[in-house]
Amino acid sequence: MIGAGLGGLAAAMRLGAKGWDVTVLEHLDTVGGRGSAIHKDGHRFDLGPTIVTAPQVYRELWAACGRDFDADVDLRALDPFYEIRWPDGSHFTASGSTEAMIEEVRRLSPGDVKGYLRFLKDAHRRYVVGYEGMVAEPMHRFWDTAKVIPEFALLRADRSILGLARARVKDERLRMALSFHPLFIGGDPRHVTSMYALVSHLEKDYGVHYAIGGVAAMAGAMKRVIENQGNRVRFRAEADKIVIENGRAVGVRLANGETIRADLVVSNADSGHTYNRLLRNHRRHRWTTPRLKRTKWSMGLFVWYFGTKGTRDRWKDVGHHTIVSGPRYEALLDDIFTKGRLAEDMSLYVHRPSVTDPTAAPEGDDTFYVLSPVPHLGHEDPVDWSVMADAYQEKVRKTLEERLLPGFSEHLSVEEVFTPETFRDRYLSPYGCGFSIEPRILQSAWFRPHNVSEEVDGLYLVGAGTHPGAGLPGVVSSALVLSKLVPDAAPREEMKMAAE
Ligand SMILES: Cc1cc2nc3c(=O)[nH]c(=O)nc-3n(C[C@H](O)[C@H](O)[C@H](O)COP(=O)(O)OP(=O)(O)OC[C@H]3O[C@@H](n4cnc5c(N)ncnc54)[C@H](O)[C@@H]3O)c2cc1C
């Protein structure tokens, strides 16, 4: 197994449960990938995912390994889910209560309640077809994707999520509130299929949760399951290439020159990295370098992690998750995704785990991260972050001071900044993308790099760059797809005896 992201860890657990002897090779010194954490002066910074949806996905994963998820992870339901604030001072609080949501819609735009109720129905229908029907199913045979096309056509999957929101509500703020979710998995709402309305249903029915200790605590619990299965995670073990003999993957060569042989190789590295780097010496038919260059990639992220001293009693109206929407929505998306330009304005997501989780910050202090979507590094004339980072951070600081956390700059204690260049170097992410290949309709299901490699026998893919795609429920589900494709291993004792 190459990579100990949530996708790789889930896959190792599934393979362990099937009796496979698994070695996870991770180039970092910790598990979790984007879901890992760093610690500074008593602050824990959850580096990436903060919103845990679809808890049933984890419960089912643990159960498949004969374990109880709730005994290993302390998952807390959040209520409300998050708040969106607009520059005109208006705001919207999202929660699991349909009545409360209708009231929020009515408060902003009374004429849009009917349209909102239609959107809820849209979301439910898309959840049944798109989530229940596809997410955990293998999609590497064209037929599996083709047979859902009639339902997709009926549901107008060709229409974007923003197009659907536009058709249902008139208020620009509500259009944003109903369509921004794909940004959390790297998709441009102007192009991502309206099937992603299913996320609104997922949130409503299964809630929004936070794991005490952050997603890193979930990743740590996954590592313990893997070790209890008798398997292992090796850190600072960067795969340099997948070893191929007679057209079949037979192992992995590490950057230090060591070769590890295996009956099958699973890559949780980004699919772009897997094909362009790890299979660089192998002739590829589908995922060639020019094809990967033409692929639409998710956006990059500028993330500023910081601690503030003695602020726990401040900003009482700022909860766990806040979206500070900028003055422009579609035009900003155009700058980020199409023009590849670093805009003057910004929309921010602010994470404040210390209001839910006392382990996130020293007593009385706060831990935050603020995230701004920015262009990835693959655009013509990419942003040089070694030059731009300080100036951009200053703009983020000003926006936060003015819009959300007045006076916070005076309380700053520790900080760390990640730019797309950090993502490129830390996670070996092509173009420093936040979420791998963008989830457009023609880059999803069969059209995405397959879970069972099209290029080499014996190679499998899990994680954000394969089916079903990015986001924790997606990458953990990719491991379930994998387990449907890989047979049970021979019982280990028999294998050992056979080897002797
Ligand atoms: C800032 C941010 C916020 C997010 N928020 C949310 C959220 O709230 N909710 C949600 O559901 N999702 C969220 N996501 C998305 C989610 O975190 C990711 O889609 C998911 O964690 C990706 O998991 P993965 O297993 O595919 O890959 P990764 O987490 O990228 O893991 C891949 C691992 O492989 C390792 N690796 C790569 N190449 C090699 C190699 N050659 N040799 C050895 N190791 C290698 C990397 O070091 C890494 O550890 C967020 C993502 C980010 C970045």
The Cα 50–Cα 423 span in angstroms is 17
CB 258 within 8 Å of CB 452: no
373 in contact with ligand 1, CB cutoff 6 A: no
- Give 475 Cα–ligand 1 centroid separation in angstroms: 9
The Cα 445–Cα 447 span in angstroms is 5
- Give 410 Cα–ligand 1 centroid separation in angstroms: 33
Q: How far apart are the first and last CA of the chain?
A: 25
DSSP codes, 477-498: HHHHHHHHHSPPPPPHHHHHHH
Which DSSP helix (H) or strand (E) runs through 222? helix 214-228
Q: pLDDT tens across 213-266, in order? A: 999 999 999 999 999 999 999 999 999 999 999 999 999 999 999 999 999 999
Residues of the chain with pLDDT under 70: 491-500
The Cα 320–Cα 269 span in angstroms is 30
CB 162 within 8 Å of CB 169: no
pTM of the shown model: 0.96
218 in contact with ligand 1, CB cutoff 6 A: no
Candidates 447, 442, 484, 449; CA nearest to 463 is 449
- The CATH number of the domain covering residues in 300-427: 3.30.519
Candidates 191, 212, 207; CA nearest to 94 is 207
Half-sphere exposure of 222 (CA within 13 A, CB side): 30
**Segments of 168-313 assigned E as strands:** 209-211, 232-234, 239-245, 248-254, 259-261, 265-267, 300-308
The Cα 189–Cα 166 span in angstroms is 11
35 in contact with ligand 1, CB cutoff 6 A: yes
**Best substitution site from 27, 29, 34 to test ligand 1's pocket, by max atoms within 8 Å of Cβ?**
34
- Give 5 Cα–ligand 1 centroid separation in angstroms: 5
The DSSP letter of residue 274 is I
273 in contact with ligand 1, CB cutoff 6 A: yes
467 in contact with ligand 1, CB cutoff 6 A: no
Ligand 1, atom 4, lies closest to the CA of: 49
The Cα 445–Cα 442 span in angstroms is 8
8 in contact with ligand 1, CB cutoff 6 A: yes
274 in contact with ligand 1, CB cutoff 6 A: no
Tokens of 34: 């984007």
Which residues, including other chains, have CB under 8 Å from residue 179's CB and lie 6 or more apart? Answer: 161, 162, 164, 165, 189
| The pLDDT value given to residue 492 | 62
The DSSP letter of residue 344 is S
335 in contact with ligand 1, CB cutoff 6 A: no
Residue at token pair 């100036």: 391
The Cα 442–Cα 158 span in angstroms is 10
Which residues, including other chains, have CB under 8 Å from residue 475's CB and lie 6 or more apart? Answer: 5, 6, 7, 10, 462, 463, 464
**Best substitution site from 57, 268, 273, 275 to test ligand 1's pocket, by max atoms within 8 Å of Cβ?**
268
- Give 423 Cα–ligand 1 centroid separation in angstroms: 10
5 in contact with ligand 1, CB cutoff 6 A: yes
The Cα 260–Cα 287 span in angstroms is 25
Composition of the chain by helix, strand, coil, percent to 5: 45, 20, 40
Q: pLDDT tens across 353-389, in order? A: 999 999 999 999 999 999 999 999 999 999 999 999 9
The Cα 471–Cα 74 span in angstroms is 20
50 in contact with ligand 1, CB cutoff 6 A: yes
CB 466 within 8 Å of CB 10: no
Q: Which fold has domain 6-77+210-294+439-499?
A: FAD/NAD(P)-binding domain (3.50.50)
Which DSSP helix (H) or strand (E) runs through 418? strand 412-418
**CB-count exposure of residue 452 (10 Å: 0-12, 13-18, 19+):** middle
Q: Which fold has domain 99-207?
A: Guanine Nucleotide Dissociation Inhibitor; domain 1 (1.10.405)
Q: Where are the alpha helices (DSSP H) in 127-160?
A: 142-146, 149-154
Domain boundaries, the chain: 6-77+210-294+439-499, 99-207, 300-427
471 in contact with ligand 1, CB cutoff 6 A: yes
Return the bridge partners of 24, or none. 233
